[in-house]
Amino acid sequence: MTRTQIQLPDDVYARARKVCDRREISLAELARRGLEYILSVYAPEPGASGDWQPPKPRNLGWRGLNDAEIKQQAQLTATEVALAHRRRK
């Protein structure tokens, strides 16, 4: 285990001490648990596992359309889109 020091604003330290007192744990244990939680929430950094791949591009469905065609498509109702889809099949 590695020993380290951290600097905390006074209000954060006071709030942390209150949590420690209520939970009957040390400040070091609270810090360890907090760090473990944060590390579990954040995704691993790219390249950390060595097999990172760029994200796959999403199909947005607007390729090859000019501005007027995009506007026309955007103004279609769900019913019109469904009917057009059925006609293509």
User: Quick one: CA torsion of 23, 24, 29, 31, rounded to 10 degrees?
Assistant: 50
Residue 21: per-residue pLDDT: 96
Residue 46: per-residue pLDDT: 59
Question: Within its chain, how far is the Cα of 18 from the centroid?
Answer: 30
Q: Give the dihedral sign, CA 72/77/78/79.
A: negative
Residue written as tokens 């019109």? 80
**pLDDT, mean of residues 59-78:** 76
Q: What is the tens place of the pLDDT at every residue in 34-65? A: 999 998 888 666 556 567 678 787 666 666 77
**pLDDT, mean of residues 7-30:** 95
- Name the DSSP class of 50: S
| pTM (predicted TM-score) | 0.48
Q: What confidence tier does 79 reach under pLDDT thresholds 50, 70, 90?
A: confident
